[in-house]
Structure 1
């Protein structure tokens, strides 16, 4: 079994319309999005197989939502994972468009 990553970094990659999570320096997953005005649609969350089971999807979505909040943007949750995440985290309800 793989060891849990010690360091994670989430960054926006607007050239590819996605947030990326890097674990110990390796690309571990993505959150694909599209943008319309001040609304960002989170379309697909994917954690790559070697990095599954460490809670990275939650870290990715939480930090992406925090980034939207800091930028004054809203989210339109399309991805089922993001929909569930938002249901479980009422502190992000104000971001839903």
Structure 2
């Protein structure tokens, strides 16, 4: 399934077909000029297991890379992905 990921205040989200309801999101807080903290990832139960959370994380990583900032993982999903795939995320991981 292809989803349009939209930038929202302090994060990225996917909306339902009407455009009114978020069906997935990843949120961050800016804690320093060069660091954001990934605080929350959520995917509607209907979409779980389809790689939606990883697509949101990929978009957050692209955003941080474009802005030349790093990501501190606080959200359990992001912590797990950073730990499972250091070769993919260490370049952007504020804790490395």
TM interval, shorter chain, is 0.7 to 0.9
Q: Residue deviations 1:27-63, cap 9 Å, x none?
A: 3211121102221100111001222221101111112
Q: TM-score, normalised by structure 2?
A: 0.79
Aligned length: 90
Please state how far the C-alpha of 1:22 moved relative to its aligned partner: 4.0
Unmatched tracts of structure 2, length 5 or more: none
SS in 2 for 1:62: helix
Separation of aligned partners in 2, 1:51 and 1:94? 29
Q: TM-score, normalised by structure 1?
A: 0.79
1:11 to 6, 9, 20: 6
Unmatched tracts of structure 1, length 5 or more: 1-5
